Amino acid sequence: MQCPSCQFENMPGVAACGRCGARLELAGAAIDVHPPRAGSGVKRLRRWFPWHGLAARFRDSVEAIARTTLRELNLPHLLPSLFVRMVVPGWPQIFMGQTARGRMFLGTYLGLLAVGILFVGTVLGSIALGLAVSVHASSVIDILWSATTDWRTRITYAAVCLMVLGVVVYLPVGWVVTRLVVPRQMVRDAPPFAAGDAVLYNPSAYRWSEPAPGDVVLYRVVPQQVQTRTPQGNNAVYRVDGEYIDRVLAGPGQSVKWEKGALSLDGQPSPRLPLNPAGVAVTLQCTVPQGYYLVLPSAQPPTTPRYPAEVWVQMSLVPRENLLGRVFLRHQPLARWWWVR
């Protein structure tokens, strides 16, 4: 019975409110002890689509788990500290006094993480990183399993903790890493690179700054057709496209001349060279337009056809938006590890 003064719900039959003491009177109102019942059509729908019953059972299960969680864990004063330490594999076990177990989880995780980082971009690296995440999840499940006995509590807490761990830790870390380090594997020989080499590039290197001459970049040549003439005077059409790795040699507005393996910028000799100077066996001269950069695609397979100078110019003038990132490390295979400069 609700108090008309403070709206406190009192037990039926009491004369005064248990909170404010106001008198409770029914004022002679007749009370229907037979509440309205669902019609036959509604009952039939509920039998066909028992989602009401399923929702009620789910709600009751969640409430039961919530009521028994603190009692089963028996660690109410440690819960916040325990959950915070789940961000590091093995830390909850060490915190609970299971030092050897915690060190095993932590050591295994760090070892797999190191292998994954060392071989990032390869099959072995992907497997190692996946196993490292599995070890972290196992650390969380292990501490929950050891502190609870009811299977519903275990499953619920494990699912919630792993979801929070993924959203709070791995999703932000993955987002940041993929903005800074991306692997790319060479599928064929392109001196100075060889088939199977894996390089790392930073796709965010030029998000807030302009490329500088001397940077080694991964860039894309937009598919296009270049019409020219062969040395015999015949018309020829060359289609150029693809992704290349090479050095930025000149920026917007600079006059460039490449002749006999030497580069001149604005009439002055330049010490900068493409990654494979021997791969550019033509003489070309041009002025870099605004919004473009000159990158001679010298790192090409030896079987690449010899393009005329007009084709080289079209392939070498790269729009700013087609520079995909700065290449900084060749990390696979380990025997060919080197900084790309």
Backbone φ and ψ for 315, nearest 5 degrees, come out as: -75, -25
Query: Distances in Å between the alpha carbon of 210 and those of 152, 238, 291, 323?
Result: 56, 31, 10, 10
CB atoms within 10 A of CB 122: 18
Verdict on whether the full-model pTM lies above 0.85: no
* Radius of gyration for the chain, computed over Cα atoms and rounded to the nearest angstrom: 35
The alpha carbon dihedral of 98, 103, 104, 108 has a sign of positive
Distance between CA atoms of residues 55 and 76, nearest Å: 29
- Three-class DSSP category at 136: helix
CB atoms within 10 A of CB 46: 13
Residue with tokens 């919530």: 66
How confident is the model at residue 321, as a pLDDT? Answer: 93
In the chain, domain spans: 74-180, 198-339
Mean pLDDT for back-to-back runs of 10 residues, the chain (341 residues): 74 73 58 62 68 64 56 51 85 87 95 92 90 94 78 80 90 92 89 90 92 93 78 77 92 92 91 90 90 92 80 90 93 87 82
Cα 77 to its chain centre, rounded Å, is 35
Q: Are 279 and 298 in contact (CB under 8 A)?
A: yes
Tell which residue, 325, 331, 337, 338, has the closest CA to residue 199: 331
How confident is the model at residue 104, as a pLDDT? Answer: 95
Q: What residues have CB less than 8 Å from 279, skipping those under 6 apart?
A: 191, 298, 299, 300, 304
How confident is the model at residue 252, as a pLDDT? Answer: 94
Distance between CA atoms of residues 297 and 240, nearest Å: 11
Name the class of domain 198-339: mainly beta
Q: What is the DSSP letter of 242?
A: E
